[in-house]
Amino acid sequence: MLVHRSTKRGVFAVAVAAVAALAVSALPAQAFSPHSEVGVTSTTIKLGITVPLTGAAAPGYNKVPYAMKAYFDYVNDNGGVNGRKIQLVIKDDAYSPILAKSVTNDLILKDKVFALVGTLGTANNEATSKFVNDKGVPRLFVNTGFSGFANTKKYPTTYALFPSYYMEAKAIGGYLDDKFAGKKVALIYQDDDFGIDALAGFNQVGTKFVAKIPYASGSQTDPTVVGKWITSIVTSGADTVVLFGVSTATAAALGGAYKAGLAGKVQWILGSVGADPTTIKTLAPTALPLLNGAIAASFLPSANDSADEYVAQFQKINTQYNKGASFDNNVLVGMNAGMLAVQALRAAGTSPTRAKLMAAIDASGSKFASAGFAPLGWSKSSHIGYNGYWFGRIAADATIAPVDGAGKYVLYTTDSSTGAVVKSAIARPAMPAKGLPTN
Amino acid sequence: MRKSKSLSALIFFAIGLFLLGLSNFVDELRAYQGAQVGIYVIAISSIILLTGFSGQISLGHGALMAIGGYSAVLSYNHWHFPMLLAFTFGAAVAALAGFILGMAAARLSGPYLAGTTLALAVGLPSLANQFHILGGEQGLSFDIGEAPKWIADKTGGDFTQYKWFFWISVTCTLFTMWFIKNLLQSRFGRTWRAVRGNPSAAALSGINIGRSKVLAFTVSSALAGLAGALLAMILGLVAPMAFTLTLSFTLVTGAVLAGVSNLGGSIIGALVLVVIPEITDAVATHLGGSEKISANLPGLITSVLLILTVIFAPNGPQLHKRNKSGKAKTQ
């Protein structure tokens, strides 16, 4: 009986301890704010972001928030937004929806941010959606290409920035019709929603493939799997291969094709997800010979194109405010989202509210200046950001230049339903002087 | 014995009422964290039951939680099961999976069993990408909605969804703890302890070791499944990313911090898992430190606590000597 009693006493003691701990931690962390809107005072505006700072997904992605913060610091040093300084609260979600949910709770309930900006990951954004909606917190420029977030009924406060995979496939299909008519095209794609979205897009524009080669996410590291891709390509007689997968799949495919002696025999066209030359270079040096000459879809300028006015300005800011970070695509993405956020905040007026912020993006977001070559599609009825791609050729030094020659950008824009693919010249708004928005 | 049972039921009931009442005085953030603590308590208890009482090791409880979570969500979304039935269904399917896994587990021990369950934790979540019904990488959404109106009206005021999560989680947790406590005091509990203590002696006393181990695995899996379903509830979705290897390891960490053979300790383990990131965040903010510190500090503190626990209180902060339970067996 001794143990029986002591166990019960133990359980009771622990329960009391638990209640006490909860009660103590229940003391509210209220912050006094003279301004009527959450997260906005007469001198500050507080924004929040969740990203993986630790864990397997952290390398690369962990540069996004600091680049954004560097841009905000630059704007703050130049007068801020209507006299208010932007504070960015950065939270680590380790790329786990469980953590994303709890740190988003912290951002909204404890830190009391005005809006979220650049939150990263599909499942992570999905996990926080209900709460973000219920609280009416604007969630600007989510860092994911999942097409679902543009659904304004389901995610009324969310603004997508990247074009969806479906739109990307349509744009690639349009490009193939334009430049590769009559060629034998094969497709390698990831057989999950990422690839399925893309297949639907290709079907929509009627792209015909001589071979469709699916692969399970993760299987690309298996050399026998890659061997099968190469065999399928060779037996189908394809002279052009579209690769709609992640960077590791690109690296594996190009490496395998080089070994099989396909160099110079097949033209590779890479989807934007798996087309970052710097990443591929680090992943598989064996892929390099075929990377040279591959065509890649992008909506932002190349991060190493210092002739681009936005890239040049961001590089300057990066040196001054983001010391120690090498300038790459992640830094470009972070600063670009920061610049858009500043314009959205300015457009929301001198006494911003969450409702005014969203109304301002709906009304004038499509005119915001940004580094992207594709136009922005935000309006009252659509929360889709960029809606098109340009195609560039990767050079031996891993830089990307437009296929038709330096500076000759051609855009393939489309929509997220049955609209046609439209070819146009780029019409990007000029960068505001010194990268400081004046809208 | 009968008297003590009804007394313990009464105590659990009182704690429940107190906690539910308490939810009126805490903000949404604490209500959510309270719900999280409840879920971890159930999940850690399932490991304590398995490891501490039946002597089997599982590094794959995250996968069993995934099975419970996905089953509950599918039954709720597709067959429109009522919420409570969906949770039960999640636990039942996880129990079935645990039963099958347990059959293999009963033949394995030590590192072999750890390896098998680990493989499950690594491999299972990626199944979501193979079957379209499982929703792929972005998972399936799961919205149980707001609290029923009569509850909201009774308690008055603003009954948020997080508070409703807290209520459900607390109720499930207390029910589970009461169930495990009684189970461990029953014939099954004594059998498990006997098998853990000395399998040969237990077999000589007429205990069917294999059956006893499979049963422990099944019950433990059912609890993990319930925790998975509840986790899906508070997240509002099931996705492969939610049930990673890290989750499985976190649970084992929580169980070790709790003291693997100490059921009550699961509350300590769960509190540590939820409270530590909160504390480090506060510390980092006060020190004016960067988020790089607050991102890495919880891992450091948990590791240090784990090492200290293993060195100074291997059976948990509450019970220092396992031979106490050894005495119980002889009674």
pLDDT in tens, B71-125: 999 999 999 999 999 999 999 999 999 999 988 888 887 788 888 888 888 888 7
The answer to whether the CB atoms of A98 and B318 lie below 8 A apart is no
Q: Does B140 touch chain A (CB under 8 A)?
A: no
Highest mean pLDDT among A117-121, A315-319, B127-131, B190-194: A315-319
Residue range B232-242: average pLDDT? 88
Q: Chain B: nearest CA to A410, how far in angstroms?
A: 33
CA distance B8 to A12: 10
Query: For residue B327, which residues of chain A lie inside 8 Å, CB to CB?
Result: 2-3
Query: For residue A218, which residues of chain B lie inside 8 Å, CB to CB?
Result: 126
- Residue A184 Cα to chain centre, angstroms: 31
The H or E element that residue A85 is part of is strand A85-92
User: Within 10 Å of residue A235's Cβ, how many Cβ atoms?
Assistant: 10
CA distance A307 to A129: 39
Take residue B165 and report the two structure tokens written for it: 């999560």
The answer to whether the CB atoms of A17 and B327 lie below 8 A apart is no
Q: What percent of chain B has pLDDT over 70?
A: 91
Start-to-end CA distance of chain B, whole Å, equals 14
Angle of helix B28-47 versus helix A2-25 axis, rounded to 10: 150
Query: Which is more confident, B253 or A242?
Result: A242
Take residue B43 and report the two structure tokens written for it: 């999940």
Alpha-carbon dihedral A256, A257, A263, A269, rounded to 10 degrees: -120
The answer to whether the CB atoms of A6 and B324 lie below 8 A apart is yes
User: Within 10 Å of residue B290's Cβ, how many Cβ atoms?
Assistant: 12
**In this structure, are residues A38 and A112 in contact, taking their beta carbons and an 8 Å threshold?**
yes
Which residues on adjacent β-strands are paired with residue A185? Answer: A240
For CATH 3.40.50.2300, list the domain ranges present in chain A.
Answer: 44-163+303-386, 165-298
**Among B19, B27, B235, beta carbon nearest to A97:** B235
The answer to whether the CB atoms of B141 and A126 lie below 8 A apart is yes
With cut-offs at 50, 70 and 90, classify the pLDDT of residue B175. Answer: very high
CA distance B40 to B34: 10
Report B:171-210 residues touching A (Cβ under 8 A): 177, 181, 185
Angle of helix B28-47 versus helix A97-105 axis, rounded to 10: 150
CA distance B314 to B261: 10
Q: Output the pLDDT for position B122.
A: 85
Beta-strand pair A44-51/A115-117 = parallel
Helices (H), ranges, B48-82: 54, 61-78
Q: Output the pLDDT for position B315.
A: 67
Which residues on adjacent β-strands are paired with residue A51? Answer: A92
Take residue A206 and report the two structure tokens written for it: 């009627």
- Quote the Cα angle for A304-A307-A313, to 5°: 80
The answer to whether the CB atoms of B137 and A193 lie below 8 A apart is yes
Query: For residue A55, which residues of chain B lie inside 8 Å, CB to CB?
Result: 246
The answer to whether the CB atoms of B267 and A15 lie below 8 A apart is yes
Report B:253-282 residues touching A (Cβ under 8 A): 262-265, 267-268, 271, 275, 277-278, 281
In order along its 439 residues, chain A shows pLDDT tens digits of 334 444 445 545 555 555 445 444 444 433 444 447 899 999 999 999 999 888 777 777 889 999 999 999 999 999 999 999 999 999 988 888 888 888 999 899 989 999 999 998 887 888 898 899 989 999 999 988 776 787 888 899 999 898 888 999 999 999 999 999 999 999 999 877 778 889 999 999 999 999 999 988 777 878 888 999 999 999 999 999 999 988 888 888 998 998 888 888 899 999 988 887 777 777 777 777 788 889 999 888 888 788 889 999 999 999 999 987 889 888 999 999 999 999 999 999 999 999 999 999 999 999 999 999 988 989 988 888 898 999 999 888 777 888 888 778 899 999 888 889 999 888 789 999 999 999 8
User: Among A426, A424, A415, A395, which Cα is nearest to A175's?
Assistant: A424
Q: Output the pLDDT for position A32.
A: 43
Query: For residue A107, which residues of chain B lie inside 8 Å, CB to CB?
Result: none
Q: Chain A: nearest CA to B107, how far in angstroms?
A: 31
The whole-model pTM stands at 0.80
**Among B29, B231, B271, beta carbon nearest to A109:** B29
Q: Does B164 touch chain A (CB under 8 A)?
A: no
The answer to whether the CB atoms of A127 and B237 lie below 8 A apart is yes
- Contacts of A20 by beta carbon, 8 Å cutoff, 6+ apart: none
Assess whether pLDDT exceeds 90 at residue B216: yes
**Among A11, A22, A193, beta carbon nearest to B30:** A22
CA distance B169 to B163: 10
User: Within 10 Å of residue A388's Cβ, how many Cβ atoms?
Assistant: 27
Q: How many CB pairs under 8 A join A and B?
A: 169
Question: A165-298: which CATH number, 3.40.50.2300, 1.10.940.10, 3.30.70.1400, 3.40.50.10490?
Answer: 3.40.50.2300
Long-range contacts of A73-80 (CB under 8 A, 24+ apart): A73/A321, A74/A317, A74/A320, A74/A321, A74/A435, A75/A338, A75/A342, A75/A436, A78/A434, A78/A436
Q: Chain A: nearest CA to B61, how far in angstroms?
A: 16
Query: For residue A19, which residues of chain B lie inside 8 Å, CB to CB?
Result: 15, 18-19, 22
The answer to whether the CB atoms of B246 and A94 lie below 8 A apart is yes
The answer to whether the CB atoms of A25 and B28 lie below 8 A apart is no
Query: For residue B141, which residues of chain A lie inside 8 Å, CB to CB?
Result: 126, 129
Q: Output the pLDDT for position A74.
A: 96
Assess whether pLDDT exceeds 80 at residue B284: no
Q: Output the pLDDT for position B151.
A: 76
Q: Chain B: nearest CA to A392, how far in angstroms?
A: 29
**CATH (residue range A44-163+303-386):** 3.40.50.2300
User: Three-state SS for B161?
Assistant: helix
Chain A nearest-CA residue for B279: A25
**Among A28, A54, A126, beta carbon nearest to B139:** A126
The answer to whether the CB atoms of B241 and A53 lie below 8 A apart is no
Q: Output the pLDDT for position A13.
A: 53
Q: Does B62 touch chain A (CB under 8 A)?
A: no
Query: For residue B27, which residues of chain A lie inside 8 Å, CB to CB?
Result: 26, 28, 109
- Contacts of B250 by beta carbon, 8 Å cutoff, 6+ apart: B273
The answer to whether the CB atoms of A95 and B324 lie below 8 A apart is no
Assess whether pLDDT exceeds 80 at residue B326: no
The answer to whether the CB atoms of B26 and A26 lie below 8 A apart is yes
Assess whether pLDDT exceeds 60 at residue B319: no
CA distance A331 to A340: 14
Chain B nearest-CA residue for A146: B138
The answer to whether the CB atoms of A148 and B138 lie below 8 A apart is yes
